[in-house]
Amino acid sequence: MNIKLRRLAVASLIFLSGCGLFEKKRDQAVVRPVSHEPGPLPTEPRPKMLAIANGNTSPNTPLADPVRPPPPDEQIFEAIPPVNPKDTAVAAQPKATGADPTDVVVPAMGIAPPMSESPMLVQSNVKPPVEQPKPVEQPKKVAETPLQSMKRIQQLAAEKLARMEGFEAKLIRRETVPGKSAPEPEQEMQFKLRAQPLSMHLKWVGKEATGRELVYVGGRKEEKVEILTARSDGLLIGGKRMSFNPGDSMIRSQSRYDLREGGMQMAVVNLGKSMIKADRDPKVAANFRYLGIVDRRERKGGFEAIEETIAPGAEPAFPKGGKRTLHFDPESTSPSYGLPILVTATDEAGREVEYYFFDQLKPARFTDADFDANVLLKKK
């Protein structure tokens, strides 16, 4: 009986001493980590326990606590750092088209979203904005000087004439012949020109000298100007065919220039020579002025014009000087684009002494038959 009581007392003490593994404090619970690694088995029994088991001590004998309690402020586990508010920001997940606007899954504070809903992954699914191509900067146009503008115009006209085999136009002419006080009446004629060999056919179609015709073909051994006179030229010569040398006084008395030296071709050639001199001599450059676009009744939209100051005696037709203006067609779609289709001139007093307007000009290709005087100048 005594042995049974002793064993019961020992078992009770062991049970009561095991409760010391957990100690409760106010507002704090300390949990001792439990190691799952098997410890070494004791080789010898503890003296106290052996004494109790052998009945050598009383039940009231205090037993040593096999586990040392932790200090009051000791933390067995590391303190969890505070949560950064920035880390708790939650981005609403994108909604499918037509979904309820309130149907947005927002992860709870401190709970990481699934990998498929990670904000980093969501952002990677958003297509970056398409970068618009930068406009190509066009080179800035450098403003031309007046001399550069005049050289550009002259060069364009020379190139255009060089490509043309010939042209036809309605020529309107007003002149004051040197030695005459009154200007000649305005004349209107159909004008055909071939560049090589230089060939011309003029037929008067206006009120003045109606029916008169002139044919000239250059490059021949004997160059002749063949004329069919108009009936208004007089009873003695009206309606007759006549031949003259190009420089004959009879021919020159009707015009300011030799027909081989007049026209827009010579105007362009002479302007080119002057532009070359103007590059080297400022005094020559001072004789020319770029006027830009000027309005004229002859053409809607005006002309791009160059004015030349003629010094006294520089030309036989200007003994006291004067001014000449070349008017170039500025319309790029026009058949006469770039050509000086209007040439005007005034004397020292500002009176008009030259007016040549090549209206309705268009390029043309001619043959010898177009300048055959025997066919063209038959008596009507």
The model's pLDDT over 55-109, given as tens digits with 9 standing for 90+, comes to: 555 555 555 555 555 555 555 555 566 656 555 544 445 555 555 555 555 555 5
- Read off the pLDDT of each residue in 196-207 and give the average, rounded to a whole number: 95
Paired residues of 194 in beta bridges: 166, 199
Q: How many angstroms separate the CA atoms of 93 and 105, rounded?
A: 7
Which of 21-30, 221-230, 245-254 is the least confident region? 21-30
Q: Residue 301: in which H helix or E strand, if any?
A: strand 299-310
Looking at residue 201, its pLDDT comes to 97
Q: Rounded to whole angstroms, how far apart are CA atoms 104 and 102? A: 6
Residue of 273 and 80 predicted with greater confidence: 273
Q: What's the token pair of residue 366?
A: 């001619």
pLDDT on residue 180: 83
**In angstroms, rounded to a whole number, what is the distance separating the alpha carbons of residues 243 and 246?**
9
Neighbours of 61 (CB within 10 A): 11
DSSP 8-class letter at 315: B
Q: What is the per-residue pLDDT for 359?
A: 97
Q: For residue 289, what are the β-bridge partners? A: 307
Q: Which ranges in 107-245 belong to alpha helices (H)?
A: 119-125, 146-163
pLDDT at 30 over 50: no
Which pLDDT tens digit goes with each residue over 305-319? 999 999 999 999 999
Q: What is the C-alpha to C-alpha distance for residues 187 and 200, in angstroms, rounded to an integer?
A: 17
DSSP state of 85: G
Helix, strand, coil proportions of the chain in percent (round to 5)? 25, 25, 50
| DSSP result, 272-290 | HHHHHHHHH-HHHHTTEEE
* pLDDT at position 29: 46
Banded model confidence at residue 21, pLDDT cuts 50, 70, 90: very low
What is the average per-residue pLDDT within 323-337? 97
Percent of the chain with pLDDT over 90: 50
Provide the 3-class DSSP secondary structure of residue 63: coil
pLDDT on residue 27: 46
Does 47 score more than 60 pLDDT? no
87 touches 41 (CB < 8 A): no
Residue 117 and residue 104 in contact, taking contact as beta carbons nearer than 8 Å: no
pLDDT tens per residue across span 151-177 = 999 999 999 999 999 999 999 999 998
Residues whose CB is less than 8 angstroms from the CB of residue 22 and which lie 6 or more positions away in sequence, other chains included? none
- Residue 172 contacts residue 187 (beta carbons within 8 Å): yes
What are residue 10's phi and psi, to 5 degrees? -65, -45
Q: How far apart are CA 103 and CA 92, in angstroms?
A: 10
